[in-house]
């Protein structure tokens, strides 16, 4: 039903994630892979990533994933400390995180891990140990996020009832600044606000989003983009399955205006190492809009939150702390 959404474009990246695909059997994963390859034109050297919980990793699964064509693993480590993992209601232990990460490294070279900073239990010393463990293991890619507490989650309820300590925004900002310096010193490229990579190991899949490339999302809650509109599938699993069984695409759509596309370009490009390309703005949205944005961004140059390199504006470390706010101010 979605075969023609991308207008027969070649598929350069495939990403199994947004849920817990590591729970699937190798046979189910293989069926999904074969179906994608049968229905779409996939380039020979496509980046194919699978998200895995540390406690799902076994040598049998690693070898099965590798055999079916997975060539990049994203492992949700979150923390190397048991007290933090328990506080965040994570199922795995620090021993499982370390042991299964080491096991994964015997089968896969291209690995990315997630780390969380800014929890009430995370001291600067503990954060240093987490980051430098990843550096010691030469993990080629890290995605690092400030702890966010979503409403209607057990964690949110515990904090609201004062059963757990709240999150401190100033502490999160401080630990993010430490993170940037440590990884820079270790030779990592800070190529997007939350993403760091050793040379040659940037995520091609995520980079496609940031470059405005088209993509197709399959499954409940999945999002798609074809250059003109955004499409998102219903989140409810049963509603999704029922609709598919009736031959319907259970999704909503939003047509993008020129203003929508400009705002998205500002938001996404400012989050990247390359920054906001004013030549691109002028070419696609006109010189008047370019002049308006350049006028508005001057205050961030003066406050040293933004730097200019020829026709590009990019965020400094301090600017990274306010990335979304700066972008919104330029809309």
pTM to 2 decimal places: 0.90
2-11, 123-132, 206-215, 261-270, range with the lowest pLDDT: 2-11
Strands (E), the chain: 11-16, 42-52, 72-78, 111-117, 141-146, 189-192, 195-197, 223-225, 229-233, 251-255, 276-277, 306-309, 312-315
11-25, 157-171, 226-240, range with the lowest pLDDT: 157-171
Greater confidence, 217 or 18? 217
- Tell me the domains of the chain and their CATH numbers: 11-206 (3.20.20.70), 217-255 (no CATH), 258-329 (1.10.10)
> What pLDDT score was predicted for residue 154?
64
Distance (Å, rounded) from C-alpha 199 to C-alpha 188? 7
Tokens 């400009």 found at:
262
Confidence class of residue 297 from pLDDT cuts 50, 70 and 90? very high
When pLDDT is averaged across residues 22-27 and rounded to a whole number, the result is 92
Distance (Å, rounded) from C-alpha 64 to C-alpha 14? 17
pLDDT, tens only, 57-81: 999 999 999 999 999 999 999 999 9
> What pLDDT score was predicted for residue 328?
93
pLDDT, tens only, 249-267: 888 999 999 999 999 999 9
When pLDDT is averaged across residues 256-281 and rounded to a whole number, the result is 93
């Amino acid at each position: 039903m979605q075969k023609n959404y991308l207008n027969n474009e070649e598929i350069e990246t495939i990403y199994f994630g947004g849920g817990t695909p590591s729970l699937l059997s190798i046979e189910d994963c293989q069926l999904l892979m074969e179906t994608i390859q049968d229905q779409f034109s996939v380039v020979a050297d496509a980046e194919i990533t699978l998200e895995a919980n540390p406690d799902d990793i076994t040598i049998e699964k690693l070898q099965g994933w590798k055999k079916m064509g997975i060539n990049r693993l994203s492992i949700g480590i979150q923390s190397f400390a048991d007290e933090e993992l328990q506080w965040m209601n994570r199922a795995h232990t620090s021993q499982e995180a370390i042991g299964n990460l080491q096991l994964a490294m015997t089968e896969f070279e291209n690995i990315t891990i997630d780390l969380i900073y800014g929890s009430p239990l995370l001291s600067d010393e503990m954060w240093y140990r987490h980051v430098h463990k990843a550096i010691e293991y030469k993990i080629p890619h890290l995605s690092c996020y400030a702890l966010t507490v979503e409403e209607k989650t057990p964690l949110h309820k515990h904090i609201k009832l004062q059963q757990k300590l709240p999150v401190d925004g100033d502490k999160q900002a401080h630990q993010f600044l430490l993170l940037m310096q440590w990884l820079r010193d270790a030779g990592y490229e800070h190529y997007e606000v939350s993403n760091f990579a050793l040379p040659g190991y940037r995520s091609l899949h995520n980079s496609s989003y940031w470059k405005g490339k088209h993509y197709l999302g399959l499954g409940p809650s999945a999002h798609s983009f074809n250059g003109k509109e955004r499409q998102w599938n219903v989140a409810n699993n049963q509603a999704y399955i029922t609709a598919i069984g009736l031959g319907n695409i259970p999704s909503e759509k939003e047509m993008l205006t020129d203003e929508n596309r400009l705002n998205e370009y500002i938001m996404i490009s400012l989050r990247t190492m390359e920054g906001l390309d004013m030549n691109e703005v002028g070419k696609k949205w006109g010189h008047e809009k370019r002049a308006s944005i350049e006028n508005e961004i001057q205050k961030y140059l003066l406050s040293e939150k933004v730097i200019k390199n020829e026709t590009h504006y990019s965020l400094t470390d301090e600017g990274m702390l306010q990335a979304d706010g700066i972008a919104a101010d330029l809309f």
